[in-house]
Structure 1
Amino acid sequence: MASPATAFESAARSFADLVRRIPGDAWGGPGLGEWDLRALVGHASRSLVTVIDYLQTSAEREDMPTPQSYYVQIADYASNAGAEAIVERGRQAGRDLGADPVRAVDDLVERAVAALATAGEPLIEVIGGLGIRLHTYLPTRTFELAVHSLDIGRATGLAVDLPADVLESAAVLAAAIGVEMGRGDTLLLSLTGREPLPPGFSVV
């Protein structure tokens, strides 16, 4: 499997390529749930913004030793923050992309990749003030970029051909999250064709 940094860069560049193909008249159209397309792209772009921003931080302890433990802890944080706050954060991220969202995303990708090139392996502070190693955090961003790229494809009708290393990283993490949350048997039965997933099943 590709290194976390390699898979993240692959996901970021694939995301940027997809954004370049969004028709100009589609940005105000449907995105995902309560988000229009601009808000959805803005939310996805936060996976680039947070890498850039969190590399400027330093944590005193490692609270999340694995990518899947990040999602378990963030689920509690998100439930406390409330759905309305999360929706608004996505809308604001869309507004932050400005008048030229394509160029803004391209710029974020280059900044994130450049920052990683000299980052080393720091212990960073993420949402909620929690500490996590960079190589542990990056797969969560690859996962977000992969899933939301597929969301954008579904919203726009654009073909999305995610790189193999991105799909592998995201799929492995999705399975690991399911196990961490006590749903591994359900996932395994489904993936081996023995049982369908329950309606509304999700690992995030």
Structure 2
Amino acid sequence: MTTESVTRRHAYAEAAHAFVDLVRRVEPDAWARPALGEWTVRDLVGHTSRALATVETAISSPATHAGLADPVAYYLAASAVDHAAVADRGREAGRALCDDPATAVAELCDRVLGAVARTPDEALVATRLGGMRLIDYLPTRTFELTVHTGDIARALALPGPDISLALHESLRLAAELAFATGRGEPALLALTGRRDLSSGFSVL
């Protein structure tokens, strides 16, 4: 196992545990609170939980070849997704958490991290966008967990979790996406205090 693969695995586990810990802090009357766009807190937690559930599904569905070479390729392929369908899947996943979302998310996390620990880096897994190595898929899920755990924290007016490794890995992927999508220069100028980003700027 390489240093990079160890880092990717640890970052994913860190982000997953932070998500579980935050969900435990959701008060009963907060689940219907507006969170992100059209999503409530429950919807957003459901959507975020898919960063765990999709890994479980991918591992249980081996792929025959790696059609996606790396995390950047995954997100480039995802640029054509149906956003309405994504929103619906988030709401459906939120409903599936039933009456005790915190317990459901914690149990899902334990299952998924156990499956990841048992699966080698080079295992080819089937993602929604194509086959890829597990170790290349994990950073996309770390990114989703990191970004949306922050969204949930802000919706609840709670401090964001201390996830330095997951944050570092997510920032690195965001920078790679900025470069790959032709947005590298404005991102660099903004990060170095030379120019503000335009309204709505995103690497996704």
Regarding TM over 0.5, the answer is yes
In structure 2, runs of 5+ residues without a counterpart are: none
Match of 1:74 in 2: 78
Matches within 5 A, 1:130-145: 130-145=130-145
The runs of 5 or more residues in structure 1 that have no matched partner are: none
Q: Is the 8 A contact 1:11 1:162 kept in 2?
A: no
Match of 2:165?
165
Which letter maps to 1:124? V
Q: 1:145 is paired with a residue of what secondary structure?
A: helix
Match status 1:94 vs 2:94: yes
Matched ranges for 1:4-15 at <5 A: 4-15=8-19
Tell me the residue number matched to 1:202.
202
TM-score of the two chains, using structure 2 as the length reference? 0.94
CA distance in 1, matches of 2:86, 2:118: 31
- What is the deviation of 1:114? 0.5
C-alpha offsets along residues 177-197 of structure 1, whole Å, 9 cap, x if unaligned? 111111111111111111111
Q: How does 1:44-55 map to 2 (within 5 A)?
A: 44-55=48-59
Does the 8 A contact of 1:48 with 1:112 survive in 2? yes
Counterpart code for 2:25: R
Shift of 1:62: 1.4
Contact 1:19-1:102 within 8 A present in 2 as well: yes
CA deviation string 1:74-100 (max 9, x = no partner): 112x1xx3x322211110000011110
Query: Which of these residues, 18, 32, 36, is aligned with residue 28 of structure 1?
Result: 32
Q: Distance in 2 between matches of 1:181 and 1:60?
A: 28
CA shift, 1:31, in A, is 1.4
Partner SS for 1:132? strand
- The Cα offsets for residues 95-122 of structure 1, whole Å up to 9 and x where unpaired, read as 0111100000000110011001110121
Question: Structure 1: how far apart are the matches of 2:18 and 2:33?
Answer: 22
Q: Distance in 1 between matches of 2:165 and 2:159?
A: 18
Counterparts of residues 78-157 of structure 1 (less than 5 Å): 78=81, 81=82, 83-121=83-121, 122-128=123-129, 130-157=130-157
Distance 2:35 2:191 in 1: 28
- Alignment-derived partner of residue 59 in structure 1: 63
Give the match's secondary structure for 1:3: helix
Q: After TM superposition, which residue ranges in structure 1, 4 or more long, deviate above 4 angstroms?
A: none
Contact 1:69-1:177 within 8 A present in 2 as well: no
* Aligned-partner SS, 1:25: helix
Give CA-to-partner distance per residue, 1:143-202, whole Å, 9 cap, x none.
Answer: 000000110011110111231101101111111111111111111111111111111101
- The share of aligned pairs that are identical, in percent, is 43
> Do 1:12 and 1:145's aligned partners in 2 also have CA atoms closer than 8 Å?
yes
Q: Displacement, 1:65?
A: 1.2
Amino acid at match of 2:137: Y
Equivalent residue letter for 2:124: L
2:99 maps to amino acid: A
> What secondary structure does 1:54 align onto?
helix
Counterpart residue type for residue 69 of structure 2: P
| Equivalent pairs, count | 199
| Alignment RMSD (CA, Å) | 1.1
Please list the CA deviations of residues 10-42 of structure 1 after superposition, one character each: whole Å capped at 9, or x if unmatched.
000011001111111100111111111100000
